[in-house]
Amino acid sequence: MLDLSDKRILVTGGSGFLGKQVVEQLLQAGANADKLTIPRSRNCDLRIIDNCQKAVAQQDIIIHLAAHVGGIGLNREKPAELFYDNLMMGAQLIHAAYQAGVEKFVCIGTICAYPKFTPVPFQEDDLWNGYPEETNAPYGIAKKALLVQLQSYRDQYGFNGIYLLPVNLYGPEDNFNPRSSHVIPALIRKVYEAQQQGINELRVWGDGSPTREFLYSTDAARGIVMATQLYNDPEPVNLGTNYEISIRNLVELISELMEFKGQIIWETDKPNGQPRRCLDTHRAQETFGFKAEMNLKQGLKNTIDWYRKNPS
């Protein structure tokens, strides 16, 4: 196991939703707070190579969480930005880290990289067996290119880079901005605002048939830190729960937990996104012992409670 106590660790995106949890898990795993570096995008735009080179200098481990990401709405509105920003941040940071002699690079990918019709549950070996769902493709392909980069740098330079594929994340402090949020925070906010405004209906994109899998942010962070300490192979690894729920059932569960009694109106002229998402999680369990602990209902309760105390 990699001893983190004397390692200088850079966490890009470390002040974000997942990043805060990763920093906390690093500290619990023995990392030295004085040796943790968390760059902020306003001062360190990773799309600029000079900033990447400065950020990685003298670092031992890089955990790359920073991403330009959102839900279906943002994917449709800004596909070019999502492709360019994520590709440039990741590719330049990996190259700078290799040049600086960084000991280990931990890259966080996305399940948006999987083909649209991947057999369920998604296995890592199926990652290249087709084109991603169209609205996800610019973001997913940009992030998947980083896997190729890490594997090629390992082959040519012996650079130790690993690639993790977390499923859809949720939890307290998630992004609840309706223009860029993912499905769980978007639904929680919609229900909350309907209740505040006395509206007895909830409009939801699609027909409710797609399935999704959701990983609580604390579990995801714990998995990332476990992989940082224990995993050193080139193959990508899924991080998930291996439990899927339909969007229809998710809406009903959130409505139940928030005691919303209104009518659900499905906007079937809007896109569904990928038909099904559920991950095979055997590789993570077998290679570094990761298994999710938070069940969906309790995780949703925690997230709803947080948002009610911090509505935006």
Nearest to 272 by CA among 166, 122, 141, 136: 136
Residue 306, annotated as binding a ligand: no
Write the pLDDT tens digit of every residue in 230-258.
Answer: 999 999 999 999 999 999 999 999 999 99
Residue linked to tokens 């980083």: 146
Nearest to 36 by CA among 11, 71, 63: 11
Q: Does the global pTM surpass 0.75?
A: yes
CB 10 within 8 A of CB 59: yes
Q: In the numeric block, which tokens belong to residue 92?
A: 């330049």
pLDDT of 33 reads 97
Residue 18, annotated as binding a ligand: yes
Catalytic center residues: 139
Residue 190, annotated as binding a ligand: yes
pLDDT of 271 reads 84
CB 178 within 8 A of CB 244: no
Write the pLDDT tens digit of every residue in 24-42.
Answer: 999 999 999 999 999 987 7
Helix (H) or strand (E) holding 104: strand 104-108
Would you kindly state where each structural domain of the chain is located, as residue ranges?
9-173+214-244+276-293
For the domain spanning 9-173+214-244+276-293, the CATH number is 3.40.50.720
Write the pLDDT tens digit of every residue in 72-88.
Answer: 777 788 999 999 999 99
- The sign of the CA dihedral 114, 115, 116, 122 is negative
Q: Does residue 69 carry a pLDDT above 90?
A: no
Give the number of other CB atoms < 10 A from CB of residue 139. 27
Q: What is the mean pLDDT of the chain?
A: 95
